[in-house]
Structure 1
Amino acid sequence: MAKQTLADIKRSIECYVGQEVTICANGGRKKTIERSGMLEGVYPSVFTVKLDRDKYPIERLSFSYTDLLTESVTLSLAEKV
């Protein structure tokens, strides 16, 4: 696996803005949180995912690129049904 920098990670997810993605995050104590939504924005230090208000009580989640680098968060394109 090639080493990536934070800038490489940011560039690689910029092309997915506006697309449906699935986020799997480490919730602590052997819990995994999986949410799906639209990749809303890519900013200098974080990226945001807008969730469906009907499914989830919160509207938006934000994660840092370090979360992706350390693999505490994984990002994948949502499957089209």
Structure 2
Amino acid sequence: MATRETLTQLRKRVENCLGQKVLLKTNKGRKKVFVKEGILEEVYPSIFVVRIDRGLSSERKVSYSYSDILTETVEITLCNNDRKIQAS
């Protein structure tokens, strides 16, 4: 069971990557997995926001909660050194 300390530690790990390019692997269920590349733009107490550039001056912001990482619905990998942000 995830505790408040686990979520706090996870938030700090995500916060340390603020402004960096990340690779998001999102599990949408029924064998649907989406992989997107973006920049970790904002960190809030309950969620974090990633800006995804879709080309042709079109960008999108997606937000996820820290519990999405805990439940492995979202997997974040830093693009510059292939280090994953995981719950431990």
Q: Fold conserved (TM > 0.5)?
A: yes
Name stretches of at least 5 consecutive residues in structure 2 with no aligned partner: 82-88
Matched residues, number: 77
Give the CA RMSD over aligned residues.
2.0
Match of 2:33 in 1: 32
What is the TM-score when the length of structure 2 is the normalising length? 0.78
CA distance in 2, matches of 1:72, 1:52: 21
- What secondary structure is seen at the aligned counterpart in 1 of 2:45? coil
Identity %: 40
CA distance in 1, matches of 2:68, 2:76: 10
| Aligned residue identity for 1:38 | I
What is the TM-score when the length of structure 1 is the normalising length? 0.84
Q: Which runs of 4+ in 1 moved over 4 A?
A: none
CA distance in 1, matches of 2:14, 2:52: 17
